[in-house]
Amino acid sequence: MTVDVTVVGGGISGFACARAVQDAGGTARVIDRGRRPGGRLASRTIDGRAVDLGASYFVVGDDERFARVVAGWETRGIARPWTDTFSAFDADGTETRKSGRMRWAAPAGSRSLVLDLADGVDVESGREVERVAPYRVDGKDAGEVVLAMPEPQARRLGHGIPVAPQDWEPVLAVVLRWEKRRWSADLHGAFVNGDPDVAFIADDGDRRGDGAPVLVVHTTGGAARMYLDDPDAAVAPVVAATRRLLRIDAEPVATHAHRWTFARPARATGEPFFRSPGLSLCGDAWGQSPAVRTAWASGDALGRALAAS
């Protein structure tokens, strides 16, 4: 049976779109190539523990609709306020503390946010879509088609998608585990300025609230491009930089590197989404600034617009 809307891409924007359609009385399904929904909010089980590999945190911002969703997550224990203070390291190791908006995290991993949105949505996981066109997916009727993914990936699925090409930055997420914590208890997270390999360090045990001696380090775009074909080769320079910056006197006991070829858009479009008859796009590039809240708001706005039509 053909549904009103078929969303290709099982990240937060895709499920926000599908939920908005269903909340308005329409029918929607989501097709995702992964075994489980998540997109760039993916978590991976490493040494028996889920580790966040994608977005390091999210900020609620000023969107009242997203704020209501987050309030529900908090009430049900799916999300929690994490910290309003991060460190900033210069390349020489000088550390300063900077406070700002509250950053939020998910105790069970960021994927749990997407799984919550996916509850009650028709999902087809593990399917690789080969071709899309207005109102059609792989040659079959699909209702309105939504591509909830980075524009370079969307363009591979259909020639003539009428949007301007977008530049995206790659990132490698490197997981480092020690046998015990060897850094300051109030580290939380740290931006790194001027280092060729490391851009951000997250204390995953602090972020998740279980105290695990695990750091997740995001590389610079330059390092990601250098090691994109061999992510494991980035582990050694990332370990060296992390140990130097945090003054850790031992090697990690386990490491893991994950490649994000399209991690974040170089800039946002300023528009909430792209819509054309039968084929639309949404995601964190469609808004004022790339962020988790932008991805949700883009999918939600597009879903409401499609339902209204």
User: For the chain, which residues make up each domain, given as ranges?
Assistant: 1-55+110-167+274-309, 79-106+169-264
Task: Provide the strand spans (E) within 33-79.
Answer: 43-46, 49-52
Q: How far apart are CA 112 and CA 182, in angstroms?
A: 28
Q: What is the average pLDDT score of the chain?
A: 95
Judge whether residue 1 has pLDDT over 80.
no
Q: Name 220's Cβ contacts closer than 8 Å, sequence gap at least 6.
A: 195, 196, 197, 198, 199
Contact 39, 55 (CB under 8 A): no
pTM to 2 decimal places: 0.95
Interval 174-221: pLDDT, tens? 999 999 999 998 899 999 999 999 999 999 999 999 999 999 999 999
Gyration radius of the chain's alpha carbons = 20
Q: Classify domain 79-106+169-264 at the CATH topology level.
A: Polyamine Oxidase; Chain A, domain 2 (3.90.660)
Note the pLDDT of residue 93: 82
Interval 53-97: pLDDT, tens? 999 999 999 999 999 999 999 999 999 999 999 999 998 889 999
Residue 95: other Cβ atoms inside 10 A: 14
Helix (H) or strand (E) holding 174: strand 168-177
The length of the chain, given as a count of residues: 309
Assign domain 1-55+110-167+274-309 to a CATH class: alpha beta
Note the pLDDT of residue 188: 96
Judge whether residue 222 has pLDDT over 90.
yes
The answer to whether the Cα torsion of 180, 186, 191, 193 is positive or negative is negative
The answer to whether the Cα torsion of 68, 71, 75, 76 is positive or negative is positive
